[in-house]
Chain A
């Protein structure tokens, strides 16, 4: 759906950001045009994989169908999904993402460890939209 935000399969799956060669700032979603650190003259921005694991900063869910441009089939009944904001320790940033299917807010707690896995955002007859999901570590479903 969005080019260059993630790559890899299985245990090699990673979110991709960029890092400034001058000041070491990390950006996600990737920043390819300019370093946003106001104290940086601007360095080359190179692709960098982000940590696989992080801790839950907060979480919520979506009990009502979001509007377009979110892609959902209005013919199907709405299945709420949970969203987690995850703190990545070494990058010192927080990344929002949906959880893997089957995980609800009652399975989550602030501070819990989660890992990034490949997921399907939506699919119809022609297209499968792939994305990243967060999954509590130790859950293998």
Chain B
């Protein structure tokens, strides 16, 4: 397929609370990806950085910041910000450059040193910013929205707190097998139930933490990959980067209200479902072709929502799919075998790149104890504040 790019290398800085700067995490991840690819940094034609907004001025120009730290070598440079979808947008920018012939080999890097506790908007009085408004007027943190979605699922689909806890149990068991994960301990349903409620009905262990971390990829044209001796590399076949369609009728971070459906009938399917649909269409595959999925489990309940939005099961059937073990390692369609954000925590500009690192290792057969047998096709899914939706399809 002519629209494909090769994944030559993948690398990470282990996630945790390390107390160092985001540049250090990004450089460690970048060097790991370059070594994995067998590519000299001086042979990289373009560097794309996913921006962080919490590390001061250099964070907004991450592409150049990483390039300087690795040593200026004259590469084309790009910096992108799309909140939680920043990493996927960075991958998309790199892919567009490769497919258009602007660059043969591109380094994609995302890294963050996250603050403690709740994410919060940037400082200052900004009543024209929906993110500022939801905190100021309502005290509506990110877990507020996760709690609303969880309670809605319980009311509409009959999901239970035990179902939510089992998502954490599954992901923690997988994270325990991943040397890059921050949390590497198994968790029991009793431990989830015993943790403090943060936003009813969700508890501390239902909600992902904030973390430090970094992830990087080396992407290239298929021609370069062949010349480089990689005859059968993991390939990226689709990157969906879509907005919602008006009217968006599911309350979305960071908004206080939905669009009104009074003048325009909503299109079939939600915004989240449209993110996956765009990726499937571009890749020419369907959910039945998947070997694995990496989704943003910002909360346990949200992972279940993604099962339905990705078409892994019908609407309202996610808890059943989980209970059957279909989304566990060894199941029909394992989800978050990396351990997910439940085990990594959020390092915003890095996490969508980290998802593609996991697909790469799984599709190569390099995932160690958490390897899925003969994985051929993987998808990632995420959503970024203010209407960024992203999903990446990789194949082998």
Contact = CB atoms under 8 A, between A and B. Distances in A.
Contacts, number: 143
Interface of B: 117-118, 120-121, 125, 127, 132-141, 143-144, 147-152, 155-156, 196-202, 246-247, 249, 251, 256-264
Contacts of B260: 25-28, 91-93
A69 to B, nearest CB: 4
A71 interface: yes
Contacts of B150: 60
A59 interface: yes
Contacts of B117: 67
A95 interface: yes
A128 interface: no
A64 B195 CA distance: 13
Given A26-B260, A110-B151, A96 B138 contact: yes
Nearest to B119: A67
A100 interface: no
Contacts of B132: 69
Contact of A68 (B120, B151, B199, B246): B120
Nearest to B264: A37
B144 A60 contact: yes
B133 A58 contact: no
A40 B102 CA distance: 38
A13 B328 CA distance: 51
A124 to B, nearest CB: 15
Given A1-B136, A29-B256, A95-B257, A66 B141 contact: yes
14 contacts: A23-B263, A25-B259, A25-B260, A27-B260, A28-B260, A61-B147, A63-B198, A67-B141, A70-B139, A94-B251, A95-B256, A96-B251, A97-B138, A110-B156
B264 A25 contact: yes
B90 to A, nearest CB: 27
Q: Which 8 pairs of residues, A with B, have the shortest CB-CB distance? A: A60-B147, A110-B155, A66-B139, A58-B152, A92-B261, A70-B139, A67-B120, A93-B260
Contact of A60 (B133, B151, B262, B263): B151
A93 B137 contact: no
B290 to A, nearest CB: 30
Interface in A74-115: 81-83, 85, 90-98, 105, 109-111
